[in-house]
Structure 1
Amino acid sequence: MAMLERVSITPMALDTDKGSQEVSWVPVSRSKPVPKVPHIFFDDGEPWLAANAYALHKLDSVVGNDIKTVASNMSHLKAYACWLEDHGVDWRHFPKRKKDRCLFQYRGFLIEQRKAGLVSSSTATSRMGAIIQFYRWAQVYGWVDRKSMWEDQSKTIQFYTSVGFSRTMSVTSSELAIPNRRRVGAALEDGLTPLTDENRAALLTFLFERGKVELYLMTMIGFFTGARSETIRTLRLSSIDNALDDPTIPSMKRIAVGPGTGVETKYDVSGALLFPAELVRQLERYAYSARRLGRQARASEEDRTLLFLSERGNAYSETSFTKLISYLREKLAEAGLDQFRDFKFHQTRATFGTQLMRLAMSALPSQVDAIVFVRDAMLHKDEATTWKYVKFIEKEPVKEALSDEFFNLYVGKVGNVETLIDKVTFNDDA
């Protein structure tokens, strides 16, 4: 089976000063080492040279690409490499008949996997798209010499501008592309929908009663600030200690995130997240509780300032957090809460965005003001993403009223908030 390994790359150049009798390579002085670049190796140990060169090209020459984006693309190519090995097919196998070509065979395989429920619709779409993108690059840079591997077609798509106007544009699509069979109805970021008030309460109650304190607080932050998982996992003690009162909303505080704060954000966006003051108070209690200090004592020097640590004192990585959410889904299903079988943590963000947009649209003088407010609160890269929340609220048959818990936190009332967050104890590792 093909493997995906991380390799640190130091750019080298041939040293011609030593004469033609001796071959010597030296580091390129103007180039910095590139750490942990994903590389694919086949089962016999041979590297997939074209795919590995593609990873370096993506990092070096595509503006905005970071190691996470490249790693995601390479994980799709690694799955394709495993299929090639299992079927004994070369990645440049393009006979005359389309159905015999490797890409067409793999497309059929992915569709069967999707039908069987072994991969999600979005994964099948993304995987095929990543592979097509790789082959387009390989053709341009001479790794494959066949001119016509598939047929392209022009399609017209509709999109919304940052202020909500509908526009259309023509794009080139491959006949190999796998459409994402999305659910009926509107969806928000990453194709997800918010949880209902009842399901949100059920999830928080489950975590509270099972004593899953860290995950409970992380989920609370997701529901009431809209922070992404990578931001929540990298919150620091200083983040809480340095929280500032919001000058316009007395019941809210602002916590700085992004470059320079030690807290990660998508696309390295700098900004400040809105935190209900009541939630910050609860996080302060947890930060210096016996439960967390015990975890901190087991942590490495660089991780001790993290707000959330595992029972063994480790930072929550993307991998470990994904496993934690997968484990949570299993436990929710065992408890008879089948509505959470497909739960994604990012739904906490979608839930927050929907509630905040409703609040903004009811309190601010215009829809444009509401979009700008929500955009800044959620650190969206552009307003087109924020606009989806407006369209969702307009199209979905959901109740217009804000949930009591959300409203109470944002206007500084107590009400049911005590039930949600004030009864948590931090004395032991439950």
Structure 2
Amino acid sequence: MDRNSSARPGKSSEAQVTKIERFQVLTPNYGTPYSAATSISSDLNLELTNNEILYNFPVLLDSEGQPWDIANLYLIHKYHHTLNYNHRTYASIADHLLDYRRFLDSENIDYLHFPKLKQLKATYRFKKHIEGEIDSGRMTLDTGKKRMSGIHRFYKNIIKFKLIDSELIVEAPYEEVIRYIETTTDFGLKTFITVSSSDLALQGSKPLPDPDFIYDDGKTKPLTMHEQMVLLKALKKCDRAYQLLFYLAIFTGARLQTLSTIRICDLNRQLDYEGNLRLPVGAGTGIDTKKKARMTIIIPGWLVDDLKIYIRCSIAQGRRESSYYGDTESNYIFLTSKGTPFYTSKQEMKERLTGDPNSSNFGQPYSHTEGEAVRQFLQTLIRDIQKASPGFERFKFHDLRATFGMNLLEDELDRPDRKPITAILELVQQRMGHRNKEITLQYLNYRSRIEWKNHVQDQFESKLFSHVVRGRSE
């Protein structure tokens, strides 16, 4: 909070986050740290830090619409000290800071309000506020922990890197705490990891994993074979682009971001000896993956043929003509009816922000997409399915990835010439792109749990239920 804030107790804050589509960092020609007296004058000599343009960089504004200097300085400093910029990560950090700023405004206190009495300090008052939000059910424990962790890092960094004058902080905003976390090595040995934390951290253990789900980049649940058949039947009536996108998800296990950023030219590869397309994705390929991880997805030959047929149809061609890349092989395979991609690739973002200034597309506003059209389509599709099959459960597109993993595991386990379990797990791990085998092992454990549940159900039906006394009509 700025020193001259006029917020009154009980008054709701109008602080907000605005996002700048094309953001470049300028640095002044002096190296003094930020203080309450520091301001940037119009005649100050500024120069570009580097030539990188950041997409959707968040900027925090106070209730009067003025930049919250220290928070924005913190975000810029963080950018200078990280290797990769991810606009969603920074949006999350800004969200934590915005929630904190609004609390400070409502309490009419400064972000540097640290009297000797601990419970009156701004940080601990915010912690108590967050605990109240959790107790009332308005916030989850996980979100609350992230909030407090974000505020801890904020103060830790502005102090450590001297983003403010040290004289402004007379009392510490928190107390450092050393925690020891027990872990198991690859050789089965117990060891402890030392972790630096603070007394701002919220206590509370994570809920036990739900046995009905697999935790693979989020909580996922594979579709049963019956559910898959119902889904594929319903897709027959849908837009061909969505049909093929869902087929790719079910038969490759790739994420939506990856499938949506495959381009026409990526299909111009020689098929392997089994007639499948082995397509490298990730860093350096132009096809996005989570954290730029490199892997190879395998697309069945029949699906490659169908994709090529779709690409040549008039509908797909018309969508390309109204899109950023035009009717070229550099365009995405999948576009909406408006010519926008299902998921804007990092390559397109870079080209739009740093391309040829003389290009007609340079600097033009555009609709950045991250799968919204697919999720909206899926909700409509599920509603239509449930009209005919009321018992059909809702699912996420990401569940199709878990469905592929379970299908692959089942297929390998059912082969007459079945490989050893370790070899099967290695295959599933490779095809799914898992970082470690613990994630892959969940699929095998999930299968065992399903078999056990079915076994118990059979026992219940055949033995226990025969002893139940049923009501008889007179």
TM-score under structure 2 length normalisation: 0.67
Specify the code of the residue in structure 1 equivalent to 2:80. Answer: D
Residue 152 of structure 1 pairs with residue 156 of structure 2: no
One of 168, 172, 177 as aligned partner of 2:202: 177
DSSP-derived class of the 1:245 partner: coil
What residue is the counterpart of 1:409 in the other structure? Answer: none
Residue 280 of structure 1 pairs with residue 304 of structure 2: yes
Is this contact kept in 1: 2:253–2:404, CA < 8 A? yes
Give the deviation of 1:210 after TM superposition.
Answer: 5.4
DSSP-derived class of the 2:72 partner: helix
Higher relative contact order (CA 8 A, sep 6+): 1
One of 384, 405, 417 as aligned partner of 1:353: 405
Q: Against the structure 1 CA distance between its residues 295 and 4, is the aligned structure 2 distance closer, same or farther, given a 3 Å change threshold?
A: same
Residue 52 of structure 1 pairs with residue 76 of structure 2: no
Q: Deviations over 1:47-73 (max 9, x none)?
A: 222322222233222345544433333
Residue 8 of structure 1 pairs with residue 33 of structure 2: no
DSSP-derived class of the 2:18 partner: strand
Q: Against the structure 1 CA distance between its residues 340 and 8, is the aligned structure 2 distance closer, same or farther, given a 3 Å change threshold?
A: farther
Distance (Å, rounded) in 2 between the aligned partners of 1:115 and 1:326 = 33
Is this contact kept in 2: 1:89–1:102, CA < 8 A? yes
One of 186, 198, 216 as aligned partner of 1:189: 216
Is this contact kept in 1: 2:182–2:190, CA < 8 A? no
**Cα RMSD (Å):** 3.9
Q: Against the structure 1 CA distance between its residues 10 and 211, is the aligned structure 2 distance closer, same or farther, given a 3 Å change threshold?
A: same
Give the deviation of 1:236 after TM superposition.
Answer: 0.6
One of 391, 396, 404 as aligned partner of 1:344: 396
DSSP-derived class of the 1:273 partner: strand
Give the deviation of 1:393 after TM superposition.
Answer: 1.9
One of 274, 284, 287 as aligned partner of 1:263: 287
Is this contact kept in 2: 1:329–1:340, CA < 8 A? no
Specify the code of the residue in structure 1 equivalent to 2:445. Answer: E
Q: Which runs of 5+ in 1 are unaligned?
A: 16-21, 401-430
Q: Against the structure 1 CA distance between its residues 391 and 299, is the aligned structure 2 distance closer, same or farther, given a 3 Å change threshold?
A: closer
One of 377, 393, 401 as aligned partner of 2:444: 393
Structure richer in helix, relative to its length: 1
Give the deviation of 1:307 after TM superposition.
Answer: 0.9
330-339 vs 191-200, which moves further: 330-339
Q: For the pair shown, which has the larger CA radius of gyration, 1 or 2? A: 2
Q: Deviations over 1:182-231 (max 9, x none)?
A: 54336422341332315742772475155244334323322221212221
Is this contact kept in 2: 1:357–1:374, CA < 8 A? yes
What residue is the counterpart of 1:311 in the other structure? Answer: 337
DSSP-derived class of the 2:277 partner: strand
Residue 226 of structure 1 pairs with residue 250 of structure 2: no
What residue is the counterpart of 1:321 in the other structure? Answer: 371
Is this contact kept in 2: 1:188–1:350, CA < 8 A? no
One of 246, 252, 261 as aligned partner of 2:272: 246
Residue 32 of structure 1 pairs with residue 51 of structure 2: yes
Q: Against the structure 1 CA distance between its residues 360 and 331, is the aligned structure 2 distance closer, same or farther, given a 3 Å change threshold?
A: closer
1:163-174 mapped onto 2 (5 Å cutoff): 168-174=192-198
Distance (Å, rounded) in 1 between the aligned partners of 2:54 and 2:268 = 33
Is this contact kept in 1: 2:227–2:392, CA < 8 A? no
Q: Against the structure 1 CA distance between its residues 147 and 300, is the aligned structure 2 distance closer, same or farther, given a 3 Å change threshold?
A: same
Distance (Å, rounded) in 1 between the aligned partners of 2:271 and 2:280 = 12
TM-score under structure 1 length normalisation: 0.73
Is this contact kept in 1: 2:271–2:277, CA < 8 A? yes
Q: Against the structure 1 CA distance between its residues 391 and 266, is the aligned structure 2 distance closer, same or farther, given a 3 Å change threshold?
A: closer
Q: Deviations over 1:319-374 (max 9, x none)?
A: 45246415634763584668755x43322223323443455567774555444433
Q: Against the structure 1 CA distance between its residues 97 and 270, is the aligned structure 2 distance closer, same or farther, given a 3 Å change threshold?
A: same
Give the deviation of 1:128 after TM superposition.
Answer: 3.8
DSSP-derived class of the 1:59 partner: helix
What residue is the counterpart of 2:431 in the other structure? Answer: 377
DSSP-derived class of the 1:356 partner: helix
Q: Against the structure 1 CA distance between its residues 182 and 268, is the aligned structure 2 distance closer, same or farther, given a 3 Å change threshold?
A: same
Specify the code of the residue in structure 2 equivalent to 1:328. Answer: L
Give the deviation of 1:264 after TM superposition.
Answer: 1.3
